[in-house]
Chain A
Amino acid sequence: MDKLTNQYIIESLSEKFGEAVQIIGEPHGLLTLSTSAEQIIEVLTYLKNSESLRFNYLTDITGVHYPNQEKEFAVVYHLHNLFRNLRVRIKVFLDGTDLTISTVTNLWKGANWMERETYDFYGIIFDGHPDLRRILNMDDLEVFPMRKEHPLEDPNRVDKKDFYFGR
């Protein structure tokens, strides 16, 4: 069997989905793609079930907050093809006004807690999730603490401004 390459993944995804899957890059050899919230289930289903791709292992799901971007939030999926040992990273950027994305618990049961964690910290709603509750923080917390608008330190401190941290 030939080695599965990033190039092959790009070709087979662009053949199937066309413009809906964008290539972000290959930082440190890990192919990074982005797609839309509408397409994510089809893309992941294809990556998991297609005979030639078979990304059968869900390594991780997490969220990122980019307050300065137009689409503020990102959900990041790391998949792994255990048969031929290749990883791929899929990002879905979400608008701050509509933080809804379909759940992937139907594809991998293990996504359950990963999505709950992402909801807990970023407030991203996973549509169709069987049990979308907070997981690590207490239930009556009113904010989503990993968002960048919640500073770690006392905002009145002058020695802990963002400027001193290089941004």
Chain B
Amino acid sequence: MSNPITKITHNKPVFEDNDPQDELITLNIGPTHPATHGVFQNVVQIDGERIVSGVSTIGYIHRAFEKIAERRPFYQITPLTDRLNYCSSPINNMGWHMTVEKLLGIEIPKRVQYMRVIVMELARIADHIICNGILGVDTGAFSGFLYVMQEREFIYEIYEEICGARLTTNIGRIGGFERDFNEITFKKIEEFLERYPPVLREFEELFVRNRIFIERTAGVAAVTPEEALEYSWSGPILRATGVDYDVRVVSPYCSYEEFDFEVPVGTNGDVYDRFMVRNAEMWQSLSIIRQALDKIKKEPAGVFHADVPEFYLPPKEQVYNNMEALIYHFKIVMGEWETPQSEVYHSVEGANGELGFYLIHDGGRTPYRLHFRRPSFINYQMFAPMSAGMLISDAIINMSSLNVIAGELDA
């Protein structure tokens, strides 16, 4: 197979028959390998340091979420979506809530939409911090990773303030949020906007003009836009090839059309460009959060959910003291609500690509069929073919830069 991906030709020396040097070695990278952050198995044929061919095996942490979802009322599916891309679970939660709201035709107040935008952009920053930090670790720069990790910790503290959880957040509800952002939340978001830019700038300075980093990443695993579209790539790795496809722009949700932000694109589609695109996206996310905070101030205070008593859980004090509220609480949790028979496809721009929810609903208490379009699953399938001809060390940083999250890969 001619390999236009890597541009590195595999110059194999000619050996005599039965020369042991002529043999290829089969190497199992994974399923648990310290260099592949997650459960990934790749069986590769190597010739010295160079990969000749490889086969990916996935599914080691398959948990049958799509099957489980067929027996769960809508509220109980949100925790499943947490466990897809667990580095940015709020985006998954919001994506699922918006899918259901689209099915039910619920109008969400502007203030709630801006609150969601803040949470989703924080999640995007947290996800990119991990991906770019890990990329630094894999190229030999550990300190940058530890430095930005503190900021991710701070984002988790903001989540904690909003919903009480840190990693698998289960944040928000169908129709809005479970409670309003309190003062500490707003203060912490403001503080984050203050303290993160200098950290990010310093992180950039460590890498952007760093010769070691550039030599390890520039030109490695370069992908053309045609190939990327052929493989249905989406997210930062597609934009690194130069295609400006961003779900937030092409099919805006949550009032993203009101925000002023740029879609950063790369030119070469290599590991360096992916790093730079993610980096630039973090700056854009910061600007979006700032704009959202300003917009929230102009909206009537105290609105944190849509006025849909038949779908939105009543307040807890009422549930304990009021019969009607208790009945509604049970009906909603058990999915005893009037829902239309319909089909919905809703997608959001997840941290690593287009995260889609395809929901077929027959009017029962649970989805008839729920399919997750998982960007990691679709992005990762190019990994084995594009590794052919690469050095093992390059393949490892290529995998880091794809930002494949095992939970989302295997669903």
Contacts and interface: CB of A to CB of B under 8 A. Distances in A.
A18 to B, nearest CB: 25
Nearest to A78: B345
Contacts of B251: 85
Interface stretch (B28-36, B65-73, B182-190): B65-73
Interface stretch (A4-12, A36-44, A59-67, A93-101): A59-67
Contacts of A167: 362, 364
B232 interface: yes
Interface in B341-360: 342-345, 347, 354, 356, 358, 360
Contacts of A85: 250-251
Given A136-B411, A137-B59, A166-B365, A27 B344 contact: yes
B340 to A, nearest CB: 9
A58 interface: yes
Q: For the side of the interface on B, what is the size category?
A: 35 or more
Interface string A93-132: 0000000000000001111111001000100000000000
Contacts, number: 101
B102 A28 contact: yes
B231 A110 contact: yes
Contacts of B345: 28, 30, 78, 87, 89
B363 interface: yes
Contact of B363 (A146, A164, A166): A166
Contact of B343 (A32, A134, A166): A32
In order of increasing CB-CB distance, the 7 nearest A-B pairs are A110-B232, A166-B364, A136-B59, A110-B231, A113-B381, A136-B62, A166-B365
Interface of A: 27-28, 30, 32, 56-60, 62, 64-65, 76, 78, 82, 85, 87, 89, 108-114, 117, 121, 134-138, 145-146, 152-153, 160, 164-167
25 contacts: A28-B103, A28-B343, A32-B343, A57-B232, A59-B347, A62-B371, A76-B358, A85-B250, A87-B345, A108-B231, A109-B382, A112-B381, A113-B381, A121-B66, A136-B411, A138-B59, A145-B67, A146-B67, A152-B68, A153-B71, A164-B365, A166-B335, A166-B363, A166-B365, A167-B364
